[in-house]
Amino acid sequence: MSDLSDVIPQPRRTTSGAGGFFELGPATEVVAGDGTERTARWLRAEVGAATGLQLAPGTGPGDAVTLSLDGALGPEGYRLDVEPTGVRLAGGDPAGLFWGAQTLRQLLGPDAFRRAPLPGRRWRLPAIRIEDGPRFGWRGLMLDVARHFMPKEGVLRYLDLMAAHKLNVLHFHLTDDQGWRIEIKRHPRLTEVGSWRSRTKFGHRASPLWEDKPHGGHYTQDDIREIVAYAAERHITVVPEIDVPGHSQAAIAAYPELGNTDVVDTGALSVWDTWGVSPNVLAPTDHTLRFYEGVFEEVLELFPSEFIHIGGDECPKEQWRRSATAQARIEELALADEDELQSWFIQHFDTWLAERGRRLIGWDEILEGGLAKGAAVSSWRGYAGGIAAARAGHDVVMCPEQQVYLDHRQHAGEDEPVPIGFVRTLEDVYRFEPVPAELTSHEAEHVIGTQANVWTEVMENQQRVDYQTFPRLAAFAEVSWSTLPAPGERDFDAFERRMAAHYRRLDALGVAYRPPGGPLPWQRRPGVLGRPIDGPPPNK
């Protein structure tokens, strides 16, 4: 049985019961009302495995966990009542019910996160009432599988970790200069050629070290269907990202005609083996548009999400400046410059997606040269892009790099593996505020949520991803779910006390997090060059 105050993210309202507890045992049933079947199935599969209890379907009312829906609780809200006679869990909708089940598992104690029961364990829930609901509708994790490929099983594992933290959007970064990770049947070379690179830079791009073996992999369309279905069972939306017009060297290596063939020998390009921003970008031609329309047609069949992410970031314009084809397109469209040419490219897919009932979202560079109509913005270069977009009436997901880029180092110590960027401690992430004070209340309504981004240039395997992501993702989850005081007034000491129990949950889940005392010997990367930035990050 867990302490009442150990729940992460922190619930909106917690009331201790009159005392006592409810004990789950061999006779405990799960009574599933209409619309609650998905959560009932999850309880039997996950909590049933950890406890060794059958949690059989039943009719109640005694010795039962009773599930129901109550629309008055609001979207994703829930109410959990534990009494010695039984448990009642109600959700404002199926998602809220599921988040309530996550809280129930936490209250059973860290061993409830195991895959099989420990001998002699008793499963008690403290008498309690919890009323809860999220601050934001978009509580995201961006996972970069393009730089270092994460096999399907690893993605499914991260969906479980997200669910345990009440995160509900997986932003799936599927394409980049260093790899193309999704099967497109009409363009097979995207994965035949574009999903593999011959070697990989080890460490920051200034590092002299290389891993001299091929790296790659991709997800088949059936893999994607499985990932999307697995996420949906956990009330997580998967938002795919297909990056255009920059970060596209892997695609150009597979199909050279997509590049600026009049200024560079695109046929000689390979999938990029180092980090940074490649100068090789897509040509602004009708052929390129038709090619990517074909890509997106298959993407839409696989992903039912409202939003489709098209990247739009870090697109160097030098090749366009030198390209007669690009300059002719600028003249033909009466555009002012190459920034407006990029906006034309983005606006084309904004319209194309809108005609198919979807919404475009892109990194804040899509603001350059004019904001695409109807587009939403992932604000990564600080808050400024998000502020501008919200003031213009566009929806925003706040993910400023200096606050919630989890590839940034967690400590200034020399033992930190491949130190990148600013120091962002667990406390720093806990004090992150997604809604800038400069916004009016009306403008702030356009901040639909926030996400933490995990870029994997220097994360070569699952253990490295775990180390950079956790425990900071737990702090981020509380920021995105709970209604907290202003950053300076947040009780980090109390959060740290709750983390004592949460570390044991992460242990049970097999997460290779950064320990509070610093990296373990096997988590270090001595001699591998990073790119640390000293001083506090700009808060703008």
How far apart (Å, rounded) are the C-alpha atoms in residues 372 and 376? 9
The CB-side HSE value for 419 (13 A sphere, CA atoms) comes to 17
Selection from 421, 442, 446 nearest residue 434 by Cα? 446
CB of 39 closer than 8 Å to CB of 65 = no
CB of 134 closer than 8 Å to CB of 23 = no
How far apart (Å, rounded) are the C-alpha atoms in residues 435 and 271? 38
How far apart (Å, rounded) are the C-alpha atoms in residues 29 and 55? 5
Q: How many Cβ atoms from other residues are within 10 Å of residue 379's Cβ?
A: 26
Angle (nearest 5°) at CA 186 between 344 and 220: 105
Angle (nearest 5°) at CA 299 between 170 and 191: 95
Q: SS3 letters for 251-273?
A: HHHHCHHHECCCCCCHHHCCCCC
Take residue 328 and report the two structure tokens written for it: 């002719």
Take residue 347 and report the two structure tokens written for it: 């606006």
How far apart (Å, rounded) are the C-alpha atoms in residues 482 and 74? 15
CB of 273 closer than 8 Å to CB of 332 = no
Active-site residue among 160, 273, 314, 339? Answer: 314
Active-site residue among 165, 215, 218, 247? Answer: 247
Give strand pairing partners of 400: none
DSSP state for residue 238 in the 8-state scheme: E
How far apart (Å, rounded) are the C-alpha atoms in residues 369 and 479? 33
What is the total residue count of the chain?
540
How far apart (Å, rounded) are the C-alpha atoms in residues 65 and 29? 6
Q: How many Cβ atoms from other residues are within 10 Å of residue 431's Cβ?
A: 18
How far apart (Å, rounded) are the C-alpha atoms in residues 255 and 258? 6
314 among known catalytic residues: yes
How far apart (Å, rounded) are the C-alpha atoms in residues 173 and 432? 23
Beta strands in 380-536 (DSSP E): 396-398, 420-421, 447-454, 531-532
Give strand pairing partners of 532: 421
Selection from 342, 408, 331 nearest residue 369 by Cα? 342
Residue 513 backbone phi and psi in degrees, to 5: -70, 165
Active-site residue among 176, 183, 243, 395? Answer: 176
Give strand pairing partners of 81: 88, 129
The CB-side HSE value for 467 (13 A sphere, CA atoms) comes to 25
How far apart (Å, rounded) are the C-alpha atoms in residues 266 and 281? 10
Beta strands in 425-519 (DSSP E): 447-454
How far apart (Å, rounded) are the C-alpha atoms in residues 88 and 64? 8
460 among known catalytic residues: no
171 among known catalytic residues: no
Active site residues: 176, 247, 314
